[in-house]
Structure 1
């Protein structure tokens, strides 16, 4: 199977420590992180993804807001720059430990943080990065870009 992720969730997964909007959201995210840690592929999608699922029961879910779309555009650009090649919706990725380290290093240095502007979780993510990514749940590695 393949995990569908919107671009800014490529950054969110770096600092995920089991916190979220609701118990259902955290349970879902934990299952996704387990799949990613086991080496499942990622498909970059546009709009709500597998992480968003539990939030979509609400008619006013923030997953559809323009501010989130802006985060996705920024993340797509920054992750592509980090990888040295453009990243686009429809691309697939494979987990790789070396790239996870590179992604986390860039995140900690602020190189991929424009996607975090206005996010209510930005302070938590900054604390996690400052701690050296203690207690993060994604353990397998990072994502390697493969164009389709």
Structure 2
């Protein structure tokens, strides 16, 4: 079982193999591929830093404890109807996305995210609506 915070549920949809450091990318890629290949993998929703934050580079301000990140987590979980502590399969998380989220929600809930301008998270939500699941990384 993996432990993830709210906004990382959206980050995984938009993940294309880019990240903050080599170690972060390797960790994110491993999780992304696991969820893509085994969508019944269980995820426990946590408040605050999770298993992806563990590999965030130690270079200045620790982004994972920022108040704006906590707000983003809360907005995304509220939008999806998911609570802290809940355990769901990745497949069930994708169902929540199809039911409660539209691609344009990224513009609001992820307004301050530096990755938003790439458009990949909106694409990921659209592909989830189309039943494609997580994108195969190149």
- Verify same fold: TM over 0.5: yes
Unaligned runs of 5+ in 1: 81-86, 141-148
The structure carrying a bigger strand percent of its residues is 1
Supply the distance in 2 between the matched residues of 1:56 and 1:64 (Cα, whole angstroms): 13
Do the aligned partners of 1:5 and 1:43 also contact (CA within 8 Å) in 2? yes
Do the aligned partners of 1:71 and 1:114 also contact (CA within 8 Å) in 2? no
Asked whether 1:138 is paired with 2:134, we answer yes
Unaligned runs of 5+ in 2: none
CA separation of 1:56/1:92 partners in 2, compared to 1, >3 Å: closer, same or farther? farther
Match among 65, 86, 89 for residue 91 of structure 1? 86
Q: In the alignment, what sits opposite 2:68?
A: 67
Match among 84, 108, 129 for residue 114 of structure 1? 108
Q: Normalising by the residue count of structure 2, what TM-score does the alignment of the two structures yield?
A: 0.77
Q: Which runs of 4+ in 1 moved over 4 A?
A: 130-133
The structure carrying a bigger helix percent of its residues is 2
Q: Normalising by the residue count of structure 1, what TM-score does the alignment of the two structures yield?
A: 0.72
Instruction: For residue 95 of structure 1, report the CA deviation from its aligned partner.
Output: 2.5
Match among 120, 129, 134 for residue 122 of structure 2? 129
Instruction: For residue 123 of structure 1, report the CA deviation from its aligned partner.
Output: 1.0
Supply the distance in 2 between the matched residues of 1:94 and 1:117 (Cα, whole angstroms): 27
